[in-house]
Amino acid sequence: MLALGKLRHYKTQGFAQQLRDILYTLGIPSWSDGGAPTAPLVIQKVSGSLTNAVFFVSRPGSRTLLLRIYGVSSASLISRPLELQTLHILSSRYRIGPRIYGTFSNGRVEEYFDSVPLTAEELRDERISRWIGARMAELHCVDVGLIEETTLDPSGGVRQPEIAATRNFRSWLPAARDVLSLTSVPPQLREELDLDAFETEWETYMQWLDAFEQKNGASPRAFCHNDTQYGNLLKLTSLKEGVPEHRQIIVVDFEYSSVNAASFDIANHFHEWTANYHSMTPHLLNPAIYPAPEQRRNFYRAYLSHYRKSRSPSQVKDVTDVDLQLLDAQVQAWSPASHAMWVVWGVVQAREDLENNEIEPEFDYIGYARCRMEGFRREVRALYQQVV
């Protein structure tokens, strides 16, 4: 199976030749023949991706490609076969996301969009926020039966798939515990990130959330992206005439996508308003800039109107204040779940840095986990003070 070497060597001739061989072997159009086979490759590293390394690859006479090399710890977090299946369905049936040209052992080659990633500031733009809301609504209308296999329970009924919020927390926890058991982990850090205690807090929160949904109605279960940070949202440099303006937003990086509570996806996106992965402290969120009520309503109006249009094009209902209030309550109820999932993710991602005793890692995954744990506890305290 083909593989690319160490990422820090991506500027070397050896790395370029390895990549050239992979592109030729995969038979990618305009790369396997023709073009300029001896022309030097232009390999541009794209910043902002926290799980993988992403590059734009180009040369004269060939189409630009996107190269994705998987992170070392990602195998503990992501099912690559399921991700590839999902990407195929989304691109072929719904024209959502990139086409996959080929895979190799530690990465893949994808379609390149002539676009630029959104910035942290652009998430706050009223018009762009509405576009994102519309695109998320369209994604939430994907037929989950095409993505997730259904199984039968002992009585013969259809067993609904476990949603991502609970499945990821549960399935990632053992890998996170393994990381904190490394001999290189200081005892005080292991005590600070006490995952046994945190699991108990999670279970208490899930009991509260279940009671909330019993009384107020459950958030619809939908196909969700689960990671709409600004680096995963691209803006096309040009849009064909007649195409709705919100379609200039392209959603990429579906590695964490699956069935989930729709309100989780929205809540997770709102937390990304508080992040800046290009700042001096990219691992820290700033809750002071969480979207204000009117900013959330701006998003909700676009989301709900496009969701209803996609579900029932001939019977679109107006979005009322009651609709906005209910969706906001559901989003706030699911908000701590986003924090909890990324706590465990951060610990798992820290393995390589902890094993190598990195003093100044490129991204402080442990600091990120600590920040998200603080956010979880802050939000559940506020929720528990409310009358369910």
pLDDT of residue 6: 58
What is the per-residue pLDDT across 345-363, written as a single tens digit (0 to 9) for each? Answer: 999 999 999 999 888 898 9
What is the per-residue pLDDT across 164-190, written as a single tens digit (0 to 9) for each? Answer: 999 999 999 999 999 999 999 999 999
Kindly tell me if the per-residue pLDDT of 259 is higher than 60. Answer: yes
Kindly tell me if the per-residue pLDDT of 388 is higher than 70. Answer: no
The structure's pTM equals 0.91
Q: Find, among 66, 69, 71, the residue nearest to 43 by Cα.
A: 66
Which of 67-76, 96-105, 260-269, 296-305 comes out lowest in average pLDDT? Answer: 67-76
Structure tokens at 359: 């003093």
Residue with tokens 């904190």: 180
Structure tokens at 294: 């009117």
Handedness of CA 106, 364, 371, 350 (dihedral sign): positive
Predicted confidence band at 152 (pLDDT cuts at 50, 70, 90)?
very low
What is the per-residue pLDDT across 317-348, written as a single tens digit (0 to 9) for each? Answer: 899 999 999 999 999 999 999 999 999 999 99
pLDDT of residue 48: 63
Mean pLDDT over the full length of the chain: 91
Hey, where are the domains in the chain?
7-70+98-111, 115-384
Can 7-70+98-111 and 115-384 be said to share one CATH topology? no
Kindly tell me if the per-residue pLDDT of 49 is higher than 80. Answer: no
pLDDT of residue 212: 97
Structure tokens at 223: 């196909």
Q: How far is residue 105's CA from residue 281's CA, in Å, rounded to a whole number?
A: 32
What is the per-residue pLDDT across 200-237, written as a single tens digit (0 to 9) for each? Answer: 999 999 999 999 999 999 999 999 999 999 999 999 99
Predicted confidence band at 36 (pLDDT cuts at 50, 70, 90)?
low
Q: Mean pLDDT across the stretch 107-125? A: 94
Which of 147-156, 284-293, 324-333 comes out lowest in average pLDDT? Answer: 147-156
Topology of domain 7-70+98-111, CATH = Phosphorylase Kinase; domain 1 (3.30.200)
Q: What is the DSSP string of 150-212?
A: -EE-TTSPEEPPPPHHHHHHHHHHHHHHHHHTSTTS-HHHHHHT-HHHHHHHHHHHHHHHHHH
Q: How far is residue 251's CA from residue 253's CA, in Å, rounded to a whole number?
A: 7
Predicted confidence band at 365 (pLDDT cuts at 50, 70, 90)?
very high
Q: Find, among 328, 337, 347, 345, the residue nearest to 375 by Cα.
A: 337
Predicted confidence band at 156 (pLDDT cuts at 50, 70, 90)?
low
Higher-scoring residue by pLDDT: 309, 134: 134
Q: Mean pLDDT across the stretch 289-293? A: 98
Taking residue 355's Cβ as centre, other Cβ atoms within 10 Å add up to: 14
Predicted confidence band at 310 (pLDDT cuts at 50, 70, 90)?
confident
Kindly tell me if the per-residue pLDDT of 158 is higher than 60. Answer: no
Taking residue 171's Cβ as centre, other Cβ atoms within 10 Å add up to: 15
CATH of domain 115-384: 3.90.1200.10
CB 383 within 8 A of CB 333: yes
State phi, psi for 22 to the nearest 5 degrees.
-65, -45
Higher-scoring residue by pLDDT: 32, 257: 257
Structure tokens at 371: 């920040």
Higher-scoring residue by pLDDT: 133, 26: 133
DSSP state of 316: P
User: For 279, how many CA atoms within 13 A lie in the half-sphere containing its CB?
Assistant: 13
- Give strand pairing partners of 70: none
Which of 29-43, 175-189, 192-206, 282-296 comes out lowest in average pLDDT? Answer: 29-43
Predicted confidence band at 193 (pLDDT cuts at 50, 70, 90)?
very high
pLDDT of residue 74: 77
DSSP state of 280: S
